[in-house]
Structure formats: C-alpha cells, structure tokens
C-alpha cells in the first residue's frame, strides 16, 4: 500500500523521511466516514503484516475514537495517524477543536445503548489519552496498543 498524500505531507512537515510504517489520512467528520477510517486502518495494518487480533483491536479503537470526534465536536474533518513504533501501534485521532471538554470514560447503565466506547479503548490499549493540538485548535485523542507476537 502506497503512503497517502497526507502521510507524505505529515512526514515533510515534521522533518522525517517517508516511512512505510506510518499512515496519515483525513476524512469528513460524518458517521459514514467511520467505516472508511476502520477500513483504512485494517488495510494498512494488513499491509504491514500485523497480527489479525491486533487488526481487530485497532479497528475497534479507531471506530470508537472517530465516532466520538464526529459526535462530540463540530469538526468538518478528522485526521487519523497510524504509526508502528515497534512494540506498540499508536493511533491518533485529531478533531478541529469545537468540542465540549476532555474525553472521559463514563459509567453507562446496563440498558443504555452507548457510553462504553472509551472504556473499551482503555481495556484494549496499553495507554490512551488526549492532548490539545499544538496550534491551539483541536484535540488529539491517542491510544497505544501492544503488538501481538506469537510465542516461540
């Protein structure tokens, strides 16, 4: 899979060489884009030869983070960065900063349809969090998931 044009711009902006272990893409902030983000992450991880269980976990995490960016911000576009850092896969989802506060897991009641996304992210990830975008406009919500390796 060829790096996306956004990945090439990201690499140029941050002064690093083109890497086959990074992907950056932007999608419209709509519910229809959630499936596109999930498919893009799955395809990239598949091209990297990632373990199928890791593909499932990262797919679920990107679904939750992208959905939250769509639901809880007034963004027009959402940017996703996927990086292979060796021991972990780091996923970053950046909105355009018109949301209401910092993402926090909530305690959903048993009969509620939603409200468990960040709980799932916390269970699947070694670490996760959020940071304001350097420009002051937007928020990056990130998660790091352990690479799955077969026992020797």
Given the candidates 1.10.260.40, 3.40.50.720, 3.40.1710.10, 3.30.565.10, the CATH classification of the domain at 5-12+20-146 is 3.30.565.10
Is the pLDDT at 16 greater than 50? The verdict is no
Region of residue 66 (left: phi > 0; alpha: psi -120 to 50; beta: else): alpha
Mean pLDDT of 131-149: 85
> Domain limits of the chain?
5-12+20-146
Band (9; pLDDT cuts 50, 70, 90): very low
Render pLDDT for 41-83 as a digit per residue (tens, 0 to 9).
999 999 999 999 999 999 999 999 999 899 888 899 999 999 9
pLDDT band at residue 100 under the 50/70/90 scheme: low
Please determine, for residue 152, whether its predicted confidence score (pLDDT) is greater than 50. Answer: no
How much is the pTM? 0.77
- The most confident of the ranges 5-14, 24-33, 121-130 is 24-33
Edge-to-edge strands of the sheet including 22-28? 22-28, 77-84, 88-94, 139-146, 127-132
């Amino acid at each position: 899979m060829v790096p996306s044009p956004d990945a090439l711009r990201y690499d140029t902006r941050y002064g690093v060489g083109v890497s086959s272990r990074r992907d950056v893409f932007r999608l419209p902030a709509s519910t229809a884009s959630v499936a596109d983000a999930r498919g893009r992450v799955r395809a990239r991880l598949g091209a990297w030869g990632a373990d199928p269980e890791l593909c499932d976990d990262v797919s679920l995490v990107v679904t939750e983070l992208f959905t939250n960016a769509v639901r809880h911000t007034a963004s027009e576009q959402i940017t996703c960065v996927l990086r292979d850092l060796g021991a972990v896969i780091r996923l970053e989802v950046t909105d355009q900063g018109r949301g209401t506060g910092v993402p926090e897991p909530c305690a959903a009641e048993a009969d509620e349809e939603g409200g468990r996304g960040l709980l799932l992210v916390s269970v699947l990830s070694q670490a996760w969090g959020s940071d304001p975008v350097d420009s002051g406009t937007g928020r990056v919500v990130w998660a790091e998931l352990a690479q799955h390796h077969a026992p020797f």
